[in-house]
Structures are given as C-alpha cells and as structure tokens.
Amino acid sequence: MTVRLDHIGVAVADLAAALAFYRDALGLHVEGVEDVAAQRVRAHFVPAGDVALELLEGTSPDSPIARFIDRRGAGLHHITFRVDDIAAALDRLRALGIRLIDERPRPGAEGALVAFIHPSAAHGVLVELKQAAATPRAADSPDPAAGADATFPAWTPPDAHAQRVRRYTLGDLEIVSLYDGFMRLDGGAMFGVVPRTIWSAKVATDERNRIAMGLRPLLVRGVSGTRTLLIDAGIGDKESEKFADIYGLDRSKHLDHALADVGLSVDDIDIVVATHLHFDHAGGFTRRDRSGRLVPRFPRAQYVVRRGDWDDATHANERNRASYRTDNFLPLAESGVLTFVDDDQTIVPGVRVQRTPGHTAHHQSVWIDSGGRHALFLGDLVPMAAHVPEPWIMGFDLQPMETLATKKAVFASAEERDALLFFEHDPVTIAARLRGPAGNRTVEPED
C-alpha cells in the first residue's frame, strides 16, 4: 500500500479571517470553493507546495465541522493520506484490527473517495484516507479522456469592493498593481482545447459558464518621483448596459478609485503603454466629456502602441472585430497623443516592451528591470495563473501555436532572471514567480 501525505484539514469558524491570513498575509493561492453536501461542509483548498491545506467551514449547525468547533474550537481537524486503492487500504487496516469510522469509502471533495480512521487508532489524530478522482487538482495536460467524473467547484462572485492596490519595490522603481473591477468571459473560450472536466477543477463558473476575471493595469514610477507610466487601463466606462450584462462587468470600484488609493489621478499619468488594443485593455484609454465627445482619459499622457497592432485594430476582420472597438483608440490619433513602436525597445529607463505574438500578431509584454531585479507584465500572453501550463492557451488567441512558442521562450527568460510575473486577468493571484521544471511548472505567489 503506497501512502502519501495529501493535505491537512483546518476547521475555521471565521472564513474571512482565515483567508486574510492564508491568502493575504502568507500570499497563498486559494482555489475554487466546493460544497460537499453529504458532509454539510464547504471546502477551500490552499496549495502549499506538494501538500495542500483544506479550510473547512460548516454549512449547517449540526455538521461535523460545526460540532467540532463547538467542542474544541477552530484549528487542526485532520490529516489526509492519499492512497491508490482505498477499498484495499480499508481491508488491510481491518485485518490489522485498526478501528475505523468509515467501513466503506464515501464521496469527498474534488470527486474523491474518502474514509476516516478513528483518532484512538492514530494516537489522537483524526486520519482521512483519500483516493483521488481521475482528474487531479492541478492537471497540466489537456487530455480529453481524463477526468470525466470530476466535480465542479461552486461559483462565488468576486467582491469588487474588496479590491485593493498592491505595491512592489523593484530596485529604484515602484510597481503598483491597480484595479478596474471584474469581468466574466466564457470558460471554454478562455481555455481553448483544454476540456472543461480539467480546467473546471481550477476555476469556477457562473450559471452562464463564465469565469471571473480581474482587470489589473500596472503602474510604474521611480521612487524618486520621476515620470509615471501606466500599462493598459482596464475596460473603461463607455459601454452599454447590454455589453455590461454580456461580460458580467462589476466596476463598483474602478481605476479612478485605484489611482486615488495611491494619491494619484488621471492627470498624473505621463505615459500609457498598450499591450494591445482589445477592449478589456484599452477601454479605459478614452472617455466621454460632458458634451459626449470622446477624448483621451489621461490628458497629459502620451500613448505608446505597437504599430502592427494599430494596423490590425484599424483594419479589423470578422475574426477580431468584436475585440477592437474603435471608440477606445481612434480618438487618440485625432488628439495627436500616439507614439508608435515598431520594434522591442526601452520606453523609459527600466521599462521596455517585447513583442509576444500569439494572442494577436503584435501583442507586446512589458519588462521592468531595476537594481538587478526583474518583473514582467504578461498581458494576454498568460492572462491568469491557471494559464501557466504551456498547452493551456485561450480559444481567443489568433495564433495559438505562436502563443505556445512564445510562452516557452518567455518562461525560459523569466526563470533565468527569477522574474516576478504579473497576471492581468487573474482575480486572485496578482504576481508570482515560476517554480518547477518545464511541463510541470507551478507558481509561487508574491503579495
């Protein structure tokens, strides 16, 4: 019988406080929530290297977790060992006279089969055995045959009012991750050829099969108060109610609030860099004035755009027209605030753009380098941490094989420099470093 430590269960009475510690203080990534109806418990998995934490909250006053907290208070509840054949493991334990709570396996979280061993047999520790479902929590291969019986995590909409800016220091530069609310896009489109039975183990969907996505522009400025540069500007506020409904927009807190959080306004931005001109990145480039006329949102800024992407945006076709909305960028040309770049180059000291094709032919990511340290704003090359596995590529990408080659090259550079990667659309993981070998990479969040 092969036994491996799988996770540690922690009973929590105050989930918000627990998340404030594990996610916000320690910087761990909290995966999707799952309700286990048979046990009247809600499980939140928190990967931590090879072993995970399982935060458990009761969904009923008479649930085992609620009763445990009433008797003993919140804290360590159980440890879980993964086995390949749980029925055979139980047979072996019975033959050895080990006292069991569960004589037969029963359904557990993540579609697994579980059974508990009585604490008296394990020197006061509640031990759980787990036989994992066909699809693991962190599957890296888009194998259509895998995970047909996987369960889907429960949908919990993100809270726009809980958004906050995150500050990072990189040598002589300050990097600030801002926010412009949340949007929702079809989960299948976001993960391309990866089957839902695999990607849904990582990301929950709403009733319309949409996943939650952050909108997180990046601010870069010198700690000594030099020019202030903004990378992308969110989705903006010009769209219709129908558009907001289709894309599930929640901008109850938006980019103006984020700038105010760091003592700035639109008048303080000197340079705006576009990764590309799709509406969820360039929508905030313009606004309507009181007369309804479209004007640049950042009145003092020069807007830096890759010339090839401008040409694509202004000569759109049936495949990409819905993503390029001319109200977001034509007024910039009319106002004379555009600067085109044709090649990879430095925009200001410490900030340079690199063409990263695949999502679009001329998509660009932004390197930030100072004091021997490095960061990379990925844009839509790798929109979320869930897209780190190399074959996990969006269905929206116009050139998916280019995306694959670009990801391999960029990841090699990022690993060589131990670069901090910024995910523009991840609703939880804002920045992280790559860990592990190619083909089995994970991310180490940094908050």
pLDDT in tens, 91-106: 899 989 999 998 888 8
Asked if residue 152 is part of any domain, the answer here is: no
Residue ending a domain, among 84, 113, 131, is: 131
pLDDT in tens, 356-366: 999 999 999 99
Which phi and psi angles does 251 have, rounded to 5°?
A: -115, 35
Asked if residue 329 is part of any domain, the answer here is: yes
- Distance (Å) of CA 308 to CA 312, 348, 353, 443: 6, 21, 14, 32
325 plus 223 within the same structural domain? yes
281 plus 423 within the same structural domain? yes
What's 78's domain CATH number? 3.10.180.10
pLDDT in tens, 269-283: 999 999 999 999 999
Q: Helix, strand, coil shares of the chain as percentages rounded to 5?
A: 25, 30, 45
Average confidence (pLDDT) over 71-76: 91
pLDDT in tens, 220-264: 998 656 799 999 999 999 999 999 999 999 999 999 999 999 999
Structure tokens at 427: 């609703």
238 plus 340 within the same structural domain? yes
287 plus 250 within the same structural domain? yes
Is 140's pLDDT higher than 50? no
Asked if residue 144 is part of any domain, the answer here is: no
299 plus 346 within the same structural domain? yes
Residue ending a domain, among 92, 111, 131, is: 131
Asked if residue 363 is part of any domain, the answer here is: yes
Cut 0.85: pTM above it: no
Average confidence (pLDDT) over 124-144: 64
Asked if residue 148 is part of any domain, the answer here is: no
117 plus 164 within the same structural domain? no
What's 345's domain CATH number? 3.60.15.10
71 plus 7 within the same structural domain? yes
DSSP 435: E
Bridge partner list, 252: none
Cβ neighbour number for residue 267 with a 10 Å cutoff: 10
Is 139's pLDDT higher than 50? no
219 plus 335 within the same structural domain? yes
Average confidence (pLDDT) over 185-190: 96
Asked if residue 240 is part of any domain, the answer here is: yes
Measured distance CA(383)–CA(364) in Å, rounded: 13
Asked if residue 145 is part of any domain, the answer here is: no
202 plus 334 within the same structural domain? yes
Q: What is the pLDDT of residue 151?
A: 52
280 plus 333 within the same structural domain? yes
Lowest mean pLDDT among 204-218, 378-392, 431-445: 431-445
Q: What is the pLDDT of residue 142?
A: 46
pLDDT in tens, 41-66: 888 888 887 788 989 888 888 888 98
251 plus 193 within the same structural domain? yes
Domain count, the chain: 2
Residue ending a domain, among 131, 147, 182, is: 131
Q: What is the pLDDT of residue 223?
A: 66
* Alpha helices for 52-162 (secondary structure H): 64-72, 86-95
Asked if residue 376 is part of any domain, the answer here is: yes
110 plus 169 within the same structural domain? no
Mean pLDDT of the chain: 90
Q: Which uninterrupted H or E stretch holds 243?
A: helix 241-246
Supply the range of the domain harboring residue 164.
Answer: 160-445
Is 372's pLDDT higher than 90? yes
